[in-house]
Structure 1
Amino acid sequence: MLTGLNVAVIGGDARQLEVIRRLSEHDANLFLIGFDQLEHGYTGSVKINSHNISLEGMDAVILPVSGTGSEGQVEAVFSAEEIVLTREMVASTPEHCIFYSGIRTKYLEELMEKEKRKLVPILDRDDVAIYNSIPTVEGTIMLVIQHTDFTIHGSNIAVIGFGRTGMSVARTFAALGANVKVGARKQKDLARITEMGMKPFHLSELKDELSSIDICINTVPALVLSSDVLAAMPVHALIIDLASKPGGTDFHYAEKRGMKAILAPGLPGIVAPKTAGQILANALTILLTEQHQLERSMDNGSER
């Protein structure tokens, strides 16, 4: 149980509702920021006005999966007001306060370093990323079907990156009968791709390997599909970029060339927000329970 733990939940989408529900069940004291348009109430929760945000006394702060924008903007689909995480807000928290976010952002990392607060990017956890790859794959299949006039079966698909998401994407499309090739850098990944019955290639060979594909699915959060790589690809090729913003594709050049390129980093929250939210809620419950137990043991130690 999280009895006595003060947790602020700032912004987010439908996934955060599952997080709020789970933490409420575990008896945390919840302070909801950016949920003024949410009619549903939760036991033990208090809505805080977006114009008068205070994080004093918080033991933990939960941010959306997307973290913050370059200037601290926080996505909040249940609020009509813009919410910005400022240095003053972070500084007002107790030193032991931990900030939980889906991903790392430059703004967040610099802010936490300045104010000496701990940042925990939940999607860095292997378990969360692997579970999260399930709705990501389903959403990718949905996009491919919506934006092509041919079947997945028999199509030529290139998956860039063989991390936790890339592996799930590649395996699923291969199971659907596509001819899948996968680009990676590490030799161990190239070996595993071969063992799984797919064609491996090194990322240094991108231009040659993408010259005859129908669909390209990128999972690498770096500019891998640059203008010169895109120029070597068929114009009809569909690009689905699953990497976090701004993605790994030169979208301006793709549009200029007449190629269809879709940036889709938040698919779990779009195609299966309930399941994606439960994945986050499970991880956060474990992390907050560990934090709460540690804080209580330290308090007991100081009393002695």
Structure 2
Amino acid sequence: MLTGLTILFVGGDARQIEVINKCVEMDATVRVVGFDRLESPLIGVSHETLTPGLLAGADVVVLPVMGCDDHGVISAPFSTGEVVIRNEMFAAIREGVLVYTGISKSFLKKMSMEYGFRLIELLERDDVAIYNSIPTAEGAVMMAIQNTDITIHGSSCIVLGIGRTGFTLAETLKGLGATVKVGVRREDHVARAVQMGWKPFATTDLALYAGEIDLIFNTIPTMIVTAQIISKLPRQAVIIDLASAPGGTDFRFAEKRGIKALLAPGLPGIVAPKTAGIIIANSLCQSIMEEFHIRGDEE
């Protein structure tokens, strides 16, 4: 249980609601900012206005999956106004306090270094990333179906990168009857691709495989689907880029050539916010219990 801990949630989308509810169930004292526009009110929480005093009183601070931008603006779709944590507010967070987010940009990391709070990026955890790869793969398939006039079954697909997301996606596409080629950079990934029944190739040779492809799914967060690659694609090909913004595709050239290219980061929160929220909630609560040395069998 999280009895005795004060957890402050600042902003967040539908995923965060699942996390909030989980913390309430585990008997934490839960305070929230940025949830005043919900159709169904949250039970067991106190709605607050963001102040330095509120931050100073928190044992744990939970930010949205995307943290905040370089001006401290926090995504709060359920708020009637803008939610911003300014520098002086970060200074109010006690040294050593846990501040959770999904992924953080340079500004948030800088604030952590400057003011001494402990920044924990949940999406960097293997368990969260692997679980999240399931709704990501389903969302990518959904986008492919919506944006093509062919079936996945029998299509020719390329998956670039077989990390945690690419692996699940490649297996999902294969299960739907697609021919799956995977672009890899490491010899162990070549071996894994062969073992899984995919067709591996070096990402540096992508141009050699671009001429007869229906769908490209990119998970690599560096420019890889370049103008040179796009110029070789069939007109009906579709690119679905799952990497963090700005992605790894030359979207300008794709538009110029008439190739449909879609940037689609954060699919779990779009296609399955409840499932994605439960994944984050379980990981967050487990992490808090570990950090505060709370025994799991005390629940």
Q: What TM-score comes out, normalization by structure 1 length?
A: 0.92
Q: Write the distance in 1 (CA, Å) between the matches of 2:179 and 2:69.
A: 37
Q: Which residue identity lines up with residue 155 of structure 1 in the other structure?
A: S
Secondary structure of the residue that 1:144 maps to in structure 2?
A: helix
Q: Write the distance in 1 (CA, Å) between the matches of 2:271 and 2:247.
A: 19
Corresponding residue pairs, total: 294
Q: Write the distance in 2 (CA, Å) between the matches of 1:42 and 1:172.
A: 36
Secondary structure of the residue that 1:293 maps to in structure 2?
A: coil
Q: Write the distance in 2 (CA, Å) between the matches of 1:193 and 1:168.
A: 12
Gaps of 5+ in 1: 295-304
Bigger drift between 147-156 and 105-114 goes to 105-114
Asked whether the 8 Å contact 1:103–1:123 carries over to 2, the reply is yes
Is the aligned partner of 1:217 residue 2:217? yes
Identity of aligned residues (%): 48
Mapping of 1:182-197 within 5 angstroms?
182-197=182-197
Gaps of 5+ in 2: 295-299
Q: Which residue identity lines up with residue 229 of structure 1 in the other structure?
A: I
Offset at residue 293 of structure 1 (A)? 2.6
Offset at residue 50 of structure 1 (A)? 5.1
Asked whether the 8 Å contact 2:52–2:92 carries over to 1, the reply is no
Q: Which residue identity lines up with residue 209 of structure 2 in the other structure?
A: E
Q: Write the distance in 2 (CA, Å) between the matches of 1:85 and 1:103.
A: 17
4+ long deviations beyond 3 Å: 39-44, 50-54
Offset at residue 51 of structure 1 (A)? 7.8
Q: Which residue identity lines up with residue 48 of structure 1 in the other structure?
A: E
Q: Write the distance in 2 (CA, Å) between the matches of 1:53 and 1:69.
A: 22
Offset at residue 39 of structure 1 (A)? 4.7
Q: Write the distance in 1 (CA, Å) between the matches of 2:266 and 2:209.
A: 27
Asked whether the 8 Å contact 1:162–1:189 carries over to 2, the reply is yes
Q: Write the distance in 2 (CA, Å) between the matches of 1:194 and 1:276.
A: 30
Q: Deviations over 1:248-269 (max 9, x none)?
A: 1122221122111111112111
Q: Write the distance in 2 (CA, Å) between the matches of 1:110 and 1:232.
A: 42
Kindly report the root-mean-square deviation, in angstroms, between the aligned alpha carbons of the 2 structures.
1.7
Q: Which residue identity lines up with residue 179 of structure 1 in the other structure?
A: T
Q: Write the distance in 2 (CA, Å) between the matches of 1:220 and 1:125.
A: 18
Q: Write the distance in 2 (CA, Å) between the matches of 1:175 and 1:97.
A: 45
Asked whether the 8 Å contact 2:51–2:89 carries over to 1, the reply is no
Aligned to 1:95: 95
Aligned to 1:274: 274
Asked whether the 8 Å contact 2:52–2:88 carries over to 1, the reply is no
Secondary structure of the residue that 2:183 maps to in structure 1?
A: strand
Assess, with a 3 A threshold, how the Cα gap between structure 1 residues 227 and 115 changes in structure 2: closer, same or farther. Answer: farther
Q: Deviations over 1:173-229 (max 9, x none)?
A: 011111100011111011100111111011111222223211000111122122222
Is the aligned partner of 1:235 residue 2:231? no
Assess, with a 3 A threshold, how the Cα gap between structure 1 residues 80 and 231 changes in structure 2: closer, same or farther. Answer: farther
Aligned to 1:110: 110
Aligned to 2:72: 72
Q: Write the distance in 2 (CA, Å) between the matches of 1:174 and 1:185.
A: 21
Offset at residue 121 of structure 1 (A)? 0.8
Asked whether the 8 Å contact 1:123–1:129 carries over to 2, the reply is yes
Bigger drift between 251-260 and 174-183 goes to 251-260
